[in-house]
Structure 1
Amino acid sequence: MASGIRLDKVRKSFGATDVIKGIDLTIEPGEFVVLVGPSGCGKSTLLNLIAGLETVSSGDILIGGQNVNRVPPRDRDIAMVFQSYALYPTKTVRANITFGMETRRVPRDAQEAAVEEFSRLLQIDHLLDRKPGQLSGGQRQRVAMGRALVRQPAVFLFDEPLSNLDAKLRIEMRTEIKKLHQRLGKTVVYVTHDQIEAMTLATRIAVMDNGHIRQFADPATIYEYPVDLFVAGFMGSPPMNMIRGRLFHENGRVFVLPLGARESVRFPLVGAAGTAALADSREVVLGLRPETIFAAGSELPGPNRHVFEAPVEVVEPTGPDTMLVFQIGGQDLIARVRPEDVATPGKTFRFEVDMGKAKLFDAETGLAL
């Protein structure tokens, strides 16, 4: 059975330093929740509090409806997978996987059945008699996951488990972890600084910054409707373009005039932002995802398209896409265009942007408007 987790006004301080600053969070049974944020934001500390490796300074942690503030880690019905694998180098893969079951005096036949089931699931059944030093990084991580899985806990906790792997292995293991969650249906709390991992794995994402949760929602909502500039800038690769500008009204329409740009470069707001009662000359930040900016005429016509020109600074081919770095009013921006859309550094390029997908933020508070 999967268990839900609830954090109620949880705080953690180390001496005079507040690391977790009053977090409320409810994770439903069977959810895959990813804690994501920059280094030092408190995500690993929060995971350690759930695991019982750290004690809360105040507030409550409930797992399966039970307050576990004073419950030791071994009695919380959790299993944790670490970044460093934490395998015993002198023991075989089989012995590493069964070690926890032996200390809990699980019968031998039950141990064997669990090893057989999960080693086959993780495709490490042919490695059971090897030692960790004979394994690749990806194989070691599978063994660490097998050791956690055989416990069959109510909650799995992952602390940046893929950060030591190369890019190709990270993608493969990401897929394996998602398959495991879909098959087992257990509650997972997963820490990463990699927002692509967060987007691909999570049912919901908690974006953390400076000991707070800025936004907690499903990946599509986090990406399409960020609550503030921090979330908008952190989630996305390349990140969202942020154009500082001022609002002005003309002929019943609302435009953003980028700071430092000539007056002819203006972006018309559409939808709710285009009809809101926003004051003239109010300073705002216009958010445009790179994939919403493309070569003029390269996409099917749409109702909210706006064409503009800007000089290209850098051309970055990536294979399936080409990134064009360009400037407006001295601000560097990125467009994601097709490889066949030829651009030359130093030359003016004709862009088109889907303003229906533009985001608007208050320049002073950073909050979405």
Structure 2
Amino acid sequence: MSDIRLEMVKKNFGATEVIKGIDLAIDPGEFVVLVGPSGCGKSTLLNLIAGLETITEGNIYIGGKRVNDTPPRDRNIAMVFQSYALYPTKTVRNNITFGMVSRGIPKADQDAAVAEISTLLQIERLLSRKPGQLSGGQRQRVAMGRALVRKPDVFLFDEPLSNLDAKLRIEMRTEIKKLHQRLGKTIVYVTHDQIEAMTLASRIAVMDNGHIRQFADPKTIYEDPVDLFVAGFMGSPPMNMMPGKIRTLGGQCVVSTGGPEDEPLDFLLPPALSERACGQEGRDVILGLRPEAIFAAGTELPGANRFIFERPISVVEPTGPDTMILFHHAGLDVVARVRPEDARPEGTLFMFEADMEKAKLFDAKTTLRI
């Protein structure tokens, strides 16, 4: 396994700058996920690491070796694509061994490698079939087998599960994680699905507009986002973002939210946030509360720094283990996560409780976390 290091990497397509000076250090054996919306540059960055695109500026190192001018075949990497890229006329066995045949690997070594990889991926019974006879999940396993047989230092995955149905995506996600645990190889994985990112990664690089906004472990990304973009992108449903102003009421620091359509809510800030925000009367801020931080009043264990308020329910969305209740406030639909038995019909006045210890505060102008 190898480390990967990017130093001020830039990529232009004509006059368009797609990657805008990225520094990134990936440790040997890490599972790093590049996540972000479509067009943010994540697949381009992966292609630069693979050598499928040439960088405009900067340096890329794999295993301590500068690879800017090294062709893909000499970087000791293997790539798994979204489209599988299997040869339709060849059997599974021949798809897996194709690269070995072209490199002149002895037949006995090929057979041993196929036996090892097919057992690892549980595709032994598929070796004589052709891609057209396989399901989407089976084809993806074969594509992974073709990559694994090369015994590379680094694996690159480009949205490998996006063509699969929801159930199969979950199953394959688990298989990829198990595979990483068994092999311990360095993996760089591209997805737009933040659930995939949270469940697979040892660290996540959240990308936007050719930049990395935050690079950290999943827990930090979710609980301590550096700005509004990261806070809003990571999480399903996303974090509630309520515009407001810092106020002092009765000697206490609050964020006053609301608009001309509804009664204001003065969210009392907990001590840690209060220390950073107080003394800035009238400052425009965004108060962030994830849906699980807003629940039915009195249904959770008592805690300090809780804020209780009442609002009419506008929408009820059952999801099975939880129910999402939406209410309108500050010009937005705010989402609360409640237990199904605590839900009430639309139009009902509902008593909500917010755990302000989980609140985040962002500057309205810079969008950075306060």
Q: TM-score range by the shorter chain?
A: over 0.9
Q: Tell me the TM-score normalized by structure 1.
A: 0.98
Question: CA shift at 1:271, angstroms?
Answer: 2.9
Once superposed, what is the RMSD of the aligned Cα atoms? Answer: 1.0
Structure 2 letter corresponding to 1:322: T
Deviations 1:103-149 (A, max 9, x none): 11112111111111111111101000000000000000000000000
User: Within 2, Cα distance between the matches of 1:250 and 1:268?
Assistant: 9
Work out the CA distance in 2 between the residues paired with 1:71 and 1:158: 20
Q: Please say if 1:186 is aligned against 2:185.
A: yes
Return 8-17 or 114-123, whichever deviates more. 114-123
Which deviations, in whole Å up to 9, do the C-alpha atoms of 1:4-61 show, x marking residues without a partner?
A: 0000000000000000000000000000000000000000000000000000001000
Asked if the contact 2:32–2:189 (Cα under 8 Å) also holds between the matched residues in 1, the reply is yes
Q: State the alpha-carbon separation in 2 of the partners of residues 255 and 106 from structure 1.
A: 70
Aligned to 2:324: 323
Q: Secondary structure at the match of 1:21?
A: strand
> Size of the alignment, in residue pairs?
368
The secondary structure found in structure 2 opposite 1:113 is helix
- Conserved 8 A contact 2:257-2:264: no
Aligned residue identity for 1:267: F
Tell me the residue number matched to 1:289: 290
Instruction: Give, in whole Å, the separation in 2 of the partners of 1:335 and 1:280.
Output: 28
C-alpha separation in 1, matches of 2:20 and 2:280: 35
Give distance in 2, aligned partners of 1:13 and 1:228.
26
Give 1:194 shift: 0.1
Structure-1 residue corresponding to 2:15: 16
TM-score, normalising length: structure 2 = 0.98
Distance (whole Å) between structure 1 residues aligned to residue 245 and residue 9 of structure 2: 40
Change (3 A) 1:263 1:134: closer
Q: Amino acid of the residue matched to residue 366 of structure 2?
A: T
Q: Distance in 2 between matches of 1:162 and 1:54?
A: 23
More displaced, 79-88 or 277-286?
Answer: 277-286
Q: Contact between 2:310 and 2:349, CA under 8 Å: does it hold in 1? A: yes
Q: Deviations over 1:66-104 (max 9, x none)?
A: 000000000000000000000000000000000011111
> Structure 2 matches for 1:223-302, cutoff 5 A?
223-260=222-259, 265-276=265-276, 277-302=278-303
C-alpha distance in 2, partners of 1:47/1:260?
Answer: 44
Q: Distance in 1 between matches of 2:330 and 2:223?
A: 26
Please tell me whether residue 351 in structure 1 is matched to residue 320 in structure 2.
no
CA distance, structure 2, for counterparts of residue 121 and residue 87 of structure 1? 19
Query: Helix, strand or coil for the counterpart of 2:113?
Result: helix
Q: Give the aligned partner of residue 146 of structure 1.
A: 145
Q: Specify the SS of the correspondent of 1:246.
A: strand
Deviation of residue 263 (structure 1)?
Answer: 5.9
Alignment of 1:120-131 (within 5 A): 120-131=119-130
Matches within 5 A, 1:106-125: 106-125=105-124
1:90-101 equivalent positions in 2, closer than 5 A: 90-101=89-100
1:2-41 matches, cutoff 5 A? 2-41=1-40
CA offsets per residue over residues 261-320 of structure 1, 9 Å max, x none?
656521011132112244111110000000111100111111121111111111000100
Give 4+ residue runs of structure 1 displaced > 6 Å after superposition. Answer: none
Distance 2:339 2:271 in 1: 28
d(CA) in 2 for partners of 1:239 and 1:213?
A: 19
Q: How does 1:199-238 map to 2 (within 5 A)?
A: 199-238=198-237
In structure 2, relative to structure 1, the CA distance for the partners of 1:264 and 1:53 (3 Å cut) is: closer
> Quick one: which amino acid aligns to residue 300 of structure 1?
L
Deviation per CA, 1:312-353: give whole Å up to 9, x if none. 111000100001111113221101110101211112111011
What are the Cα deviations for residues 176-211 of structure 1, in whole angstroms up to 9, with x where unaligned?
000000000000000000000000000000000000
Alpha-carbon separation, structure 1, partners of 2:279 and 2:359:
16
Preserved CA contact (<8 Å) 1:246 1:259: no
* In 1, Cα distance between equivalents of 2:279 and 2:30: 39
CA distance in 1, matches of 2:320, 2:19: 41
Contact kept, 8 Å, 1:9 with 1:60, in 2: the verdict is: yes
What amino acid does structure 2 have at the position aligned with 1:33? V
Q: Deviations over 1:128-172 (max 9, x none)?
A: 000000000000000000000011100000000000000000000
Opposite residue 265 of structure 1, the aligned amino acid is: L
> What is the distance in 1 between the residues matched to 2:105 and 2:344?
65
Contact 2:258 2:265 (C-alpha < 8 Å) held by counterparts: no
**2:74 aligns to what?**
75
Distance (Å, rounded) in 2 between the aligned partners of 1:106 and 1:259? 69
